[in-house]
Structure 1
């Protein structure tokens, strides 16, 4: 039997010339020239014209190549732990699915806890004390819980000592050996100081940690919580730098109390926000391990990795169109898992409204189940590792965070920086920058500043107990828009802006849709004239709309032809304020709306003109 002829090895793309970076850059330049975004005579790298900057002033390029390669990230489970805190990552067990519970009613909390544990949750985060469950109810709520298998993390605020004693008593009553007690007692006097502006019991927390370290080898006592800084509007590098400063403050106090650096580090867990900006979250968690690894390296304990708890960001959650929060938390959870967080908490989609219902809790835990079991996100260690972009962003973020950490240390440490106002001022600067971009919709918020739904029926929820306050502010990205929506909704009749559409539907659809989207973000209804051919038709429809504010929408060509007559006709029909969708200068017009305008200012001024909030 004759043999088939030997086949030549197939080399993919072998017939194509090797593309060069310069060729791609020239193609980008051609596109930008056609769109008018490239100045005449520009001879630099055109791709930089479409680069963006983060709030840490890190330049994000549109393309990353070998030339952008960052220093080697090492291997999982080995210093500096960039790729994972454990050599096996989360491949064998998945990350810890940690659900938060803050309902003040013990019976409701107990039912929710058991339901969560029966459906995939692997640890509990219990808010106790004034902001949640009564401390005295811990025994009852945990009565049917195997807390040696599902560890408990406490969040008791200033009552951490009482809560710790109560939880340890539950372990004792269940006859759980000291060697099997896990979780975290949740003491964070520095984070609480940031939230309240008042001194907290650091000495008590340190004494508790020393006791726990000697008696319960698997139990942690302290949380270096970065959420107070994230919720005050901080950037990723500020969140990182302040978390490291918190960890260093605890490390100093613990070692001064007699613990070795290794034992002190094992008492700490770090908590970070995971946002819908997936690449920033992945890089932040990787950078956090590197930063803390560097601290422990110079402190003499290089083999102790950082323990991370990632929480989907409360700042990104919206009260309006809250179902979009399911998408945001899915992205954030994905990023937390890819970034190597040890534990992940997905906040329910109605978190910004009040206490979650059963459906919201189910969706939150199932989000993690899908990502772990169906998407196999934990099946590969550090799947983003090796990406030129992610590695460079991790490195840039680590350097920016270390610089900010040094600023805090140079000010005398975190406590001194909080007392002097340095921390609040730095965070406020970042929040002001972000607020300007939110106002101009450069940072869009789906369902709020973009594509709002005026007819939505919001879920009604019981209000959650108030948490600690009085220190750093707590912000949400959607807050300013939602205030205007609430104001508009509270009126006997919904405020209206009439869209004075010029010409056929095809001529005014683009700007009409833009204007409607803009005004509806402030809760303002936008009736329109439809297809029109004369100023009188527009004015007649305006008079029937029952409002006193109009926005002209059409093409530039139609504006040149019809704006003067339309403005005059609208004034005659009773218009007190007339805007134009687009840029330009037209006589008799009171203002303009366009891409990049300050939408919040436009909405506030418009509502005032309509007699709302005046």
Structure 2
């Protein structure tokens, strides 16, 4: 054994080991000094954050939390990776989506880092008969193709098969996925897709299993449930129920369990909540391994995952911030072990991406793989007590939701009865409250908006499938307010304005003045701080100062502004003994309701 020389860096070796109880005592002391007296045993609860699905993020995790053994990469329960080597053999598959027949964009992507193609095919995408033109110049034995054709999957698959034949591509060299997803199509469109079975999908699966060993036939797309406002556990639970329905159909159609498992690829959303995304992908593999084990094919239960940066988190305002969101989401997808990752361009919410947006999207993965070396470690988050605990808790919550769906009669029945939509809607309603109160901030929209920002204009994108589950975005409530302001600007030449009255010295008013300016701009209302109220062009005033100054001057200032013509006086601070204010704005108020009411009073339609 090598004995290291004493270099004087003994780190914490000379200090006594700290105990959990000591830490709790210190935390309780800090909380007490901040005015929150809690028992030492409840100190952690006071600092915990309530997440969705009944999960709480605690401030401290230790080895005593007792989570299940995640196993080894590539072995059941596949928590750490579906493959023994993880993504270390060159990184994950960089898969970009194309919704229009643009051969030049396809080739540009493939020549600059993209390794597979995700093609939206059909009436609102690439015409089936244009597949050959779109893939002109593409080496189909090197670049896997994934189809997304909804109810037209069979026709699109036949065209792709014909293309492979014309190009002379060997059957064992074909890679990708035909994208058959009957229940996902039903979730998107609301049209029942052969409730008695999925003969088209089963036929394609049999063909792939018999002739194209590297090609899968079915996709279990969980994005419809995520985009309808579902939580991480609901997204996972719905994907499990869908996958189980497909397993039943495939085995009934003559495939073995192992063959059926090999025909499925799962698609999940990756969000800017990096730890939740990492835990979700790890939990998904564990849960699917449990399904495979119950089906008698534990060794074949490695889930193939395709992660897509969340459309829900993308914003139309200040879209440049989306680059940061997708970077964090891509990092999480890679760390979480997804085999393929699609990065939505930063202008996704505005229409079709331009060449610059596509370039940034594909380079996001390239930087993380090549420059940050993110793929050189298998399961980088493994061993983190926080991640392991979050993975376990999320897996239990998702399994519970999956069991509820099964009790409703399975995914198809739960979709057609409206049960799925109701559950997802309830989750989104709760989250919308947090968004409205800015407890879940949206940078550039509900926090730090830029009213003078020059709009980013893009060519309209083909319509997404509709008629089924709704599609939501985090920015939608504030976007509606900003749209009202934009219309007012176009009609009158000016935005609605509010005068911010700074009372007392800067130390007294700066914090609340900044808060109020940020809040009103989130609704498209321009704050005016210079000059007099009469010169501002505003019809309302917001008093900004400290509680001490309010006690001395609030009543007098409110009366003076009303005399000067102010129709409404707002006070920046919590409702207190200031009856002369007409309303209040404060941290945690319902900003959407406040701003909507303000625009109503200003006559902004």
CA offsets, 1:272-294, max 9 Å, x none?
Answer: 00000000000000000000010
Q: Is the 8 A contact 1:241 1:402 kept in 2?
A: yes
1:158 match: 151
CA distance in 2, matches of 1:417, 1:221: 24
Please, which of 169, 172, 177 is the counterpart of residue 162 of structure 2? Answer: 169
SS in 1 for 2:119: strand
2:71 match: 74
SS in 2 for 1:192: helix
Tell me the TM-score normalised to structure 2 length.
0.96
The CA deviation at 1:544 is 1.2
Q: 1:8 to 1:604 in 2, by over 3 A?
A: closer
CA distance in 2, matches of 1:399, 1:475: 26
2:503 match: 502
2:591 match: 599
SS in 2 for 1:488: helix
Q: Is the 8 A contact 2:24 2:40 kept in 1?
A: no
2:176 match: 183
The CA deviation at 1:180 is 1.1
Please, which of 247, 265, 269 is the counterpart of residue 251 of structure 1? Answer: 247
SS in 2 for 1:490: helix
1:212 match: 208
1:550 match: 541
Please, which of 447, 450, 454 is the counterpart of residue 447 of structure 2? Answer: 450
Greater Cα offset, 419-428 or 350-359:
419-428
CA distance in 2, matches of 1:442, 1:590: 24
Q: How does 1:54-73 map to 2 (within 5 A)?
A: 54-73=51-70
CA distance in 1, matches of 2:52, 2:142: 41
2:525 match: 524
Q: How does 1:295-374 map to 2 (within 5 A)?
A: 295-304=291-300, 305-374=302-371
Gaps of 5+ in 2: none
SS in 1 for 2:54: coil
Q: Is the 8 A contact 1:294 1:302 kept in 2?
A: yes
CA distance in 1, matches of 2:6, 2:538: 78
1:88 match: 85
SS in 1 for 2:454: coil
CA offsets, 1:439-488, max 9 Å, x none?
Answer: 00010000000000001112110111111111111000011101111110
Asked whether 1:569 is paired with 2:560, we answer: yes
Q: 1:117 to 1:43 in 2, by over 3 A?
A: closer
Greater Cα offset, 42-51 or 324-333:
42-51
CA offsets, 1:283-313, max 9 Å, x none?
Answer: 0000000000100111011112111000000
1:264 match: 260
Gaps of 5+ in 1: 531-540
Q: Is the 8 A contact 1:511 1:553 kept in 2?
A: yes
The CA deviation at 1:7 is 5.3
Q: 1:383 to 1:543 in 2, by over 3 A?
A: same
SS in 1 for 2:501: strand
CA distance in 2, matches of 1:551, 1:6: 67
Instruction: Quote the RMSD (CA, aligned, Å).
Output: 1.4
Greater Cα offset, 490-499 or 500-509:
500-509
The CA deviation at 1:15 is 1.9
The CA deviation at 1:526 is 0.2
Q: How does 1:37-56 map to 2 (within 5 A)?
A: 37-39=36-38, 42-56=39-53
Q: Is the 8 A contact 2:192 2:416 kept in 1?
A: no
1:114 match: 107
CA distance in 2, matches of 1:592, 1:166: 62
Q: 1:410 to 1:458 in 2, by over 3 A?
A: same
Q: Is the 8 A contact 2:308 2:341 kept in 1?
A: yes
The CA deviation at 1:243 is 0.3
2:14 match: 15
Q: Is the 8 A contact 1:496 1:524 kept in 2?
A: yes
Q: Is the 8 A contact 2:183 2:193 kept in 1?
A: yes
The CA deviation at 1:48 is 1.2
2:573 match: 582
The CA deviation at 1:595 is 0.7
CA offsets, 1:325-356, max 9 Å, x none?
Answer: 00000000000000000100000000000000
Superposed structure 1 runs of 4+ greater than 4 Å apart = 5-10
SS in 2 for 1:67: helix
